[in-house]
């Protein structure tokens, strides 16, 4: 009986999340401006709106599925809020991955002449920090006694999801408006990597016996993840006198 109540609550929260985040022309234009598409045209706004809808339509279902899976695989938490935050982060990450894998409707552009690199979408420092944190956490979990298998499964899922999402953001076919495609491609890659870093930090905090150093590492990883989900600072062109 309890599992049905839990699923009902999570389904309701997921639905409220969808309603709160449902994109409008205003929010779609705001996303483009945030990711450095100045003065977006109506066609560009429409393309951004489709991009957002494809992701946010997945949130309630992923929210529900991940909540159910977490209740079966992960140890029961003593408090509810961290479990909800982990479910939201995982749902957003999987939504980026699944949406990036779906074929794009509409006109497709020819491939760019210069090959697109991973560092054109996400910063190299983010990849290095995420890789180092994931390897260090995996080693710590493997040598722990008893081995926390649910945490290892969660870490593996995070690494696979981030790797797939970033790769798809780099490799998927170019489509629609070139400026919009580039901006949303960077957004997908950075959000996936940022959420991966934040979730790794949460696993560090939840899988360790405690201590100031581990708490500081958890906070640092979550902070770096937050830095990644924000747009990169665009360098201003030098003024010539």
Q: Which two tokens stand for residue 229?
A: 């989900």
For the stretch 97-145, pLDDT in tens is 666 666 555 554 445 545 678 998 999 999 999 999 999 989 988 888 8
Specify if 238 maps to a domain: no
Q: Which two tokens stand for residue 137?
A: 């956490």
Specify if 240 maps to a domain: no
What pLDDT sits at residue 106?
Answer: 53
Q: What is the mean pLDDT of the chain?
A: 78
Specify if 241 maps to a domain: no
Taking the model in full, what pTM does it have?
0.83
State how far the alpha carbon of 121 is from the alpha carbons of 104, 117, 223, in Å.
19, 7, 20
Chain CA centroid to CA 125, Å: 17
Categorize the per-residue pLDDT at 207 as very low, low, confident or very high, splitting at 50, 70 and 90. low
* Structure-token match 């489709």, residue found: 50
Q: How far apart are CA 130 and CA 197, in angstroms?
A: 6
Q: Note down the domain range covering 63.
A: 2-106+116-228
What pLDDT sits at residue 112?
Answer: 54
Q: In the chain, pLDDT over 90 holds for what percent of residues?
A: 21
Specify if 239 maps to a domain: no
27: how many CB neighbours lie within 10 A of its CB?
15
Specify if 233 maps to a domain: no
């Amino acid at each position: 009986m309890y599992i049905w109540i839990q699923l009902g609550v999570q389904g309701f929260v997921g639905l409220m999340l969808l309603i709160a985040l449902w994109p409008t022309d205003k929010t779609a234009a705001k996303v483009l401006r945030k990711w450095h598409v100045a003065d977006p045209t109506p066609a560009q706004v429409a393309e951004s709106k489709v991009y957002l809808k494809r992701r946010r339509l997945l949130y309630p279902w992923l929210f529900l599925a991940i909540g159910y899976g977490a209740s079966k695989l992960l140890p029961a938490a003593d408090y509810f809020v961290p479990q909800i935050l982990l479910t939201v982060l995982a749902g957003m990450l999987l939504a980026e991955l699944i949406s990036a894998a779906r074929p794009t409707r509409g006109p497709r552009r020819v491939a760019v002449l210069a090959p697109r690199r991973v560092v054109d979408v996400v910063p190299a420092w983010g990849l290095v920090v995420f890789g180092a944190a994931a390897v260090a956490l995996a080693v710590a979990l493997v040598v722990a006694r008893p081995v926390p298998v649910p945490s290892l499964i969660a870490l593996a899922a995070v690494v696979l999801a981030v790797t797939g999402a970033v790769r798809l953001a780099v490799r998927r076919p170019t489509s629609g408006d070139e400026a919009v495609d580039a901006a949303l491609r960077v957004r997908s890659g950075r959000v996936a990597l940022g959420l991966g870093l934040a979730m790794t930090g949460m696993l560090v905090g939840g899988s360790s016996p405690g201590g100031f150093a581990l708490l500081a590492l958890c906070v640092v990883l979550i902070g770096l993840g937050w830095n990644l989900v924000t747009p990169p600072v665009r360098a201003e062109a030098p003024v010539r006198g």
